[in-house]
Structure 1
Amino acid sequence: MLEKLIYGARQLGLVLTPQQMQQFQLYYEELIEWNNRINLTAITDYEEVQLKHFLDSLTLVPVIQRITHAEGGLTLLDVGTGAGMPGLPLRIALPEVKVTLMDSVAKKTAFLQHLIDKLCLDYVNILTGRAEEMAHRPDYREKFDIVVSRAVTKLPTVVELTLPFCRVGGIAIAQKKGDIEEELSNAAKAMDILGGKTREIIKIALQLLEPRLIIVMEKVAATPTRYPRRAGMPEKRPL
């Protein structure tokens, strides 16, 4: 059971407990069952889910573990979480982290609420809404130690949708693949406007995964109140 995930996790220096393995197995089973009703993922093969969803999410664990813990534990927001990645695998692997999962699609957040109930996970909050709107709410703006996103869009857009949620002194993390030199150059302006800077770029090279990059951004100043712009604008007209 979960042989690929266990092997890959060990390459990251992680040893999953029997309880964590049971949680990942149940996660897979519920994901496949619900995927027959709502479109959660195109990846359904058992081994591929272990690698492309679960292990890919866990590549962030060593990065997070290096961060000094805030009082009462770290708070983490996953923007555009979809079927819960990377936020929920991170919560399984890091029980002390308080995780908030955000997605604009109510059917997906209904799945996530069902899933955390089945997994008996505490310290998980589910939010339904667009990042462009939620980031202007006082309860969420600049409140999180860590903000993560599996960046399927361009990096300048990711920056605008994540940094406003991040407290000054916190970090935003984007996962990317391929050549991102041009994206990084374009994102520098967005980071400067929104109060961030590139802290480090980490290359992930695991035997079972394609090479990928983790871009860690540090929040060094408050985000101007006008950002993020209205829904759709960060995607249509990146900073």
Structure 2
Amino acid sequence: MYFVKGIRITLLVTVLALVLGVILGVLVAIIRSAHDQQPVKKRGIVLRLLNGLCKVYLTVIRGTPMMVQLLIMWFVIWAGARATDGNLIRCAVISFGINSGAYVAEIVRSGIMSIDKGQMEAGRSLGLNYVSTMRFVIIPQAFKNVLPALGNELITLLKETSIVTVIGLKDLTKGAMIVQANTYQAFVPFIAIAVIYLALVMLLSWLLGRMERRLRQSDIR
């Protein structure tokens, strides 16, 4: 039962953190790409300020360990919170979402920059504004290009959630530690969670592979 509950919490934190990370990453990627694509003279103060904030966010998050960010989130920012499952899960989701968003931002930005400038000009010529062109023309094409990289980020995020044990969240790894503490045997529980993580990663890789093949088939059609 420790493993069953641990798998549920691990997957919950991974999925919610990925959703938060994609939202943050897309917003940061749009701001940074808009800043880079605009001529210097047309970059307004607001755009420059937002781009500067995004650069600080990327530098801080990518330059510090995930475990340190999680510890700061729980023991500093959430210092007065009760150690309930709900609070621990919310803390983990926010921490991993913010961390994942920094990496997703650079992935999506590279996808946006890979789209030919003619696509933006075509969208604007049809009467779409910048936001609508990004939403309906640029972003869908960019996601196709960066889907493998986003899949790798999802797999990395799934494995990184094992460090939530440091704040006491009973995920899959914590379940194995509890079993080991009760039975005084380390081989079976730790080998078991290694096999479970491997199975989850293989399942995700298979699903992502199928998605990529379908996207390639739709391009051919």
Q: Same fold (TM over 0.5)?
A: no
Q: Decide which structure has the larger Cα Rg and report it.
A: 2
If each structure's helix is expressed as a fraction of its own residues, which one has the higher value? Answer: 2
Provide TM-score, normalisation by structure 1.
0.23
